[in-house]
Amino acid sequence: MLCRRGSRLLGTLTRYTCTQCDGASGCHDNRSVTRFLGNNQHNKRNTWKGVGLLGGAALVTGAVSAQKEEDDDEEEEVEIDHDAQKAQGTRYRRTRMFAHFCSFSSLKYKTELFMTGEDFLKAILYKDQTRGGVRYSDLTYLSDEEYQQILDQAPSHNLETRGLFRALGKVAVISYPEYLFLVSILSKPRDHFLKTFQMIDVDSNWVLTKDEFELVEKLFSKGLVEDNIENTTLKVHFFKMDGSGVITFDDFVHFLDSIQKECLELEFNEYAKGSGRIQEIDFTELLLARTLLSEIEKDKYRGRIMSRSDVDSGVSFFQYSQFMNLLNDIHDLEIALRMFQIAKKPVTQEEFQRAVRVCTGTPLDDKMVQLTFELFDEDGDGHLGHEEFMKVMKNRIRSRGTVNVEIPPKSWKAFRKCVHERMMVAAI
């Protein structure tokens, strides 16, 4: 059987089948998956007969990817310098991710640090902790009563909810494991939402319970935390105060779509400054802002866009979001572009557009294709410098914290055990 990426690149037409009804008309499982995947053959995947096997295969795919990312960029413990007092007494390893979380956290309850909705959005938007970061002296300590009052104000979940974190503002408590989970899903392509849902849905009944959500928390807490926090704003939002609520697949997709769009809108508006469009030089700055490139390297791209752009009509939010969503499929795009390199064939704008369409199922706006070549066509010969392009794009994703979320050995061992058990059940 072809791997996921191989199937996508060859345009394999596939479908999912429910084990309960074998695809019978009206089945809830079949309807949900069909509605989610739609009729676009590029968004479909290999056929896994049965929900259980689908979950197992999804876990394997995610597990292999997670292990590779950990091997490539394992996080070491770091000093948290001026935030050492804030971190005192907390139960998590002092990784770079925790240091970033710690810098933007403004609330502390007992020994736990928490972010508000506003803190979370700042942590996503700013790489520099001096912008929006919260010093120890500004940390707010919550009493039992104050903590409960925040939970009482958690909004109930519905499909009309938009801009959740902006609506939460300063009245929310978001834990570190929840922060890691939220950051990790920001870079997931939309057609991976099903696999993510299946990974969390342990009993494969198409709804997520609070207990299942807390299993994810334990995984992201590096295997060092035995007990989860009883209630947070997100838990009350999804599962109610008494934990009786559930998340359906439609709820899950709506939430992931909403958080991705909310963060993109935040980034876009930061540079659009109310105009509704980003100038090309500002788009370049936005693209480079969260990378680890030196100023000399950044100046190279600034110079290209300033010398090659004749008429700057600006970038709309639709164009910007389309380009940024492409980054969620960056690994598939890398494989497609690598094929051109192996064949020693240059990547023209037409070939790049074709590769994007194969990887995402939709074409990239011509304006964004042109802008990509203005930035990454080194000698102006009309051919993409795809190694340079991939380096900058992957660098941007990593520095945003949306990939390479570390899974330590203890959690990884438990994760593999879970994969094995799920696949054994599916094989019965």
Given a cut of 90, is residue 33 above it in pLDDT? no
d(CA 272, CA 47): 43
Given a cut of 60, is residue 29 above it in pLDDT? no
pLDDT for residue 89: 67
Average pLDDT estimate for 337-350? 89
> Which of the four pLDDT bands, split at 50, 70 and 90, describes residue 219?
confident
218 vs 339: which has the higher pLDDT? 339
> Which of the four pLDDT bands, split at 50, 70 and 90, describes residue 424?
low
Helix (H, G, I), strand (E, B) or coil at 177: helix
Given a cut of 50, is residue 377 above it in pLDDT? yes
> Which of the four pLDDT bands, split at 50, 70 and 90, describes residue 228?
confident
Which residue in this structure is represented by tokens 């997670």? Answer: 66
Given a cut of 50, is residue 206 above it in pLDDT? yes
- Tell me if the pTM is above 0.85: no
Q: Mean of the per-residue pLDDT values for the chain?
A: 74
For the chain, what percent of residues have pLDDT higher than 70? 68
Given a cut of 70, is residue 38 above it in pLDDT? no
Given a cut of 70, is residue 288 above it in pLDDT? yes
pLDDT for residue 115: 95
pLDDT for residue 391: 85
Which residue in this structure is represented by tokens 């599916």? Answer: 426
Average pLDDT estimate for 46-74? 36
Comparing 80-94, 148-162, 240-254, 384-398, the range with the smallest average pLDDT is: 80-94
Q: Which two structure tokens, joined as six digits, stand for 346?
A: 């240059």
d(CA 268, CA 259): 14
Q: How would DSSP label each residue in 148-174?
A: HHHHHTPPPP-TT--SHHHHHTTS--B
For the chain, what percent of residues have pLDDT higher than 90? 31
pLDDT for residue 160: 67
Q: How would DSSP label each residue in 42-85?
A: GG-----BSHHHHHHHHHHHHHHHHHHHHHHSPPPP---GGGHH
Q: Which of 255, 342, 345, 253 is nearest to 43 (CA)?
A: 253
pLDDT for residue 186: 82
d(CA 360, CA 324): 12
